[in-house]
C-alpha cells in the first residue's frame, strides 16, 4: 500500500472516525466551515471534502494536472497552516528572518510541495475506493492537537495509520503528518537545513527569488 503515504502527504499541500467509515457514497459532505469545531470534526470534514472533490473531478474526466492543481489550491491549501509548517521546518533559523524573508521561504516550501505531490494526486484513479476512519480519541494541549487517521482501499486487506498534527488560531489547520517514524516536517527540515548550511540564508533566499 505504498500509495497511502503519498496520497496523505499530498493532502498536506497541495495533503471519518473509527466506527464511522467514510466512502464515496457519503458524498456530498459537510463543509469544514460549518462542521463541528473539535479537531476530529474538522479532520473528518476536511478529508471527506477533499476525497469527494477528487471523485467529482474524475467523474467529469478532468483529472488533468491543471485541474488537479486548481483543486489543490481550493480544497487543500486553505486547511494547511503553511506559516507554522515553515516555522517548524526552519527551526532555529526562523527567528533570524524578517517578515519578508519568512514569506519567501513559505512560498518556496508551498511551491516545492505542490510540484512534488500534485502529479501523485492527478495520477491516482481509485478515489471512490478510499475508506478513511478518524479515531475519535484525539489528544490536545491548548491550541495543539493530534488526530490518528486510518486509510485503506476497498478491495485491499489491512490499512495504514498516520497521525495528523493540527494547530488552532482562528480555526484548526493541519501542519504536519507522521507516518511510522517519518514526518513531513522532519523530511523538509533536513532538506532546508542542508541548503542553508551549504549556501547560507542570504544566498539561498536570492536563489529562491531567481
Here the CATH number for the domain that contains residue 160 is 3.10.450.710
Specify the number of domains making up the chain: 1
Query: Quick check: 88 pLDDT over 80?
Result: yes
Domain hosting 50: range is 3-209
Kindly state the DSSP code that residue 100 receives in the 8-state scheme.
H
Instruction: Report the distance separating Cα 67 and Cα 117, nearest Å.
Output: 14
Q: How confident is the model at residue 210 (pLDDT cuts 50, 70, 90)?
A: confident
Instruction: Report the distance separating Cα 69 and Cα 121, nearest Å.
Output: 9
Higher pLDDT, 99 or 14: 99
Prior bond to 28 cis, omega within 30? yes
Q: What is the mean pLDDT of the chain?
A: 79
Determine phi and psi for 61, rounding to 5 degrees: 55, 45
Query: Quick check: 18 pLDDT over 50?
Result: no
Bridge partners (DSSP) listed for residue 162:
149
Amino acid at each position: 500500500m505504498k500509495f497511502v503515504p503519498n496520497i496523505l502527504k499530498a493532502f498536506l499541500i497541495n495533503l471519518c472516525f473509527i466506527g464511522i467509515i467514510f466512502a464515496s457514497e457519503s458524498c456530498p459532505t459537510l463543509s469544514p466551515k460549518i462542521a463541528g469545531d473539535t479537531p476530529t470534526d474538522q479532520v473528518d470534514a476536511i478529508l471527506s471534502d477533499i476525497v469527494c472533490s477528487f471523485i467529482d473531478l474524475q467523474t467529469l474526466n478532468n483529472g488533468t494536472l491543471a485541474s488537479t492543481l486548481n483543486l489543490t489550491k481550493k480544497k487543500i491549501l486553505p486547511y494547511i497552516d503553511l506559516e507554522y509548517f515553515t516555522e517548524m521546518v526552519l527551526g532555529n533559523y526562523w527567528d533570524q528572518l524578517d517578515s519578508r524573508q519568512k514569506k519567501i521561504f513559505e512560498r518556496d516550501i508551498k511551491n516545492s510541495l505542490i510540484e512534488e505531490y500534485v502529479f501523485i494526486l492527478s495520477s491516482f484513479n481509485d478515489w471512490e475506493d478510499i475508506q478513511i476512519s478518524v479515531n475519535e480519541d484525539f489528544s490536545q494541549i491548548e491550541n495543539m492537537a493530534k488526530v490518528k487517521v486510518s486509510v485503506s482501499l476497498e478491495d485491499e486487506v489491512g490499512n495504514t495509520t498516520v497521525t495528523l498534527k493540527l494547530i488552532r488560531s482562528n480555526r484548526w489547520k493541519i501542519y504536519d503528518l507522521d507516518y511510522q517514524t517519518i514526518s513531513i516536517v522532519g523530511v523538509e527540515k533536513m532538506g532546508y537545513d542542508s541548503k542553508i548550511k551549504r549556501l547560507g540564508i542570504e544566498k539561498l533566499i536570492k536563489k529562491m527569488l531567481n
